[in-house]
Amino acid sequence: MKIKFYIFLFLSLTVLGNSFAQDKLILRSGKKINCKIISVNPTTVDYKDTTASSNVFTLDKTEILMAELKNGELYVFGNESQNGRGNSSTKTTRAEERKAAVREKEKSFKNGIIGFQPIDAFMFGRVTFTYERLFMNKRMGVAVPISLSFDPRILTPGSKADTIVSNQRQKVRHNTGIITGLDLNYYYETKGYSKFFFGPRFRYGTDVYLYNVTGYSVQFQNGFLLCSANGKWASTFSIGFGFARVIASPLGGSFNQRQSYPWGSFTFRLGIRK
């Protein structure tokens, strides 16, 4: 009896799992069909309905805008000729259709991205979290970071870097500071979910790693947004270049408050959409 029960449970879970994992066909008329895609032929697509005893149906590719598999992959169909071969005049159309299909699916993605920057903690003495809000059909983003600044050299007391500093600097580097700012990102539309972006970046706060220097920086950054096809993850790589100005320094003449200094940044953010 137990064996029969486990077999029944396994079959039930399998059927239940298959019922939730479905392929989709989106027609040019706007109709969406939940189904199981059997095969993609030169001019037609064969599929079954979601019911177990369904017959095989056939649709001409000219009626289909795109096919979405249950694993998140997308197939966009251009204007197919009767012999199954397109022509060079359809290349632009297919690219636009691909963009349109991605844009349509992105509507269901969340507009908020919560991120953490792990490299900052090890290299720059900052525990940084960011929140970015996307606007204009996800083509524009406004990101607000907040960093707890510390001196990572206090984690290795007794090292060479720890013993060569003066008593004044030793006292300063055990403090903590706050750094915040604003990013304005413009996302360049592509045929995929991952996109290039660029825009201005502003930071203000106290950098404990630089011995409690308080100042601000203005940069222009560009980078790459890596998005998952299911819309749950969104991570970024970016590089920025600009200048920094010192407002106050406890070390006195080490920094000239009237001078602008060249400044750069490298950002890696692990993000989740919320």
Residues 75 and 172 in one domain: no
Question: What whole-number distance in Å separates Cα of residue 264 and Cα of residue 13?
Answer: 54
Domain containing residue 91: CATH number: 2.30.30
Q: Which domain holds residue 267?
A: 112-273
Residues 98 and 171 in one domain: no
Joined together, the tokens standing for residue 170 give: 């030793």
Could you tell me if 143 and 182 are in contact, meaning their C-beta atoms sit under 8 angstroms apart?
Answer: yes
Residues 79 and 196 in one domain: no
Q: In sequence order, what DSSP letters do the residues of 180-198 get, joined into one string?
A: EEEEEEEEEP-SSS-EEEE
Domain containing residue 192: CATH number: 2.40.160
Check residue 158 and give its pLDDT: 55
Could you tell me if 54 and 23 are in contact, meaning their C-beta atoms sit under 8 angstroms apart?
Answer: no
Question: What whole-number distance in Å separates Cα of residue 16 and Cα of residue 60?
Answer: 30
Which of 106, 133, 157 represents a domain boundary (last residue)? Answer: 106
Residues 64 and 142 in one domain: no
Domain count, the chain: 2
Check residue 3 and give its pLDDT: 47
Residues 120 and 100 in one domain: no
Residues 6 and 65 in one domain: yes
Could you tell me if 212 and 250 are in contact, meaning their C-beta atoms sit under 8 angstroms apart?
Answer: yes
Residues 93 and 145 in one domain: no
Residues 83 and 28 in one domain: yes
Q: Is the pTM of this model over 0.85?
A: no
Q: What is the mean pLDDT of each run of 10 residues along the chain (274 residues)?
A: 46 46 83 86 84 82 84 70 44 67 84 94 90 93 95 64 48 77 92 90 92 91 92 93 90 70 94 93
Residues 90 and 223 in one domain: no
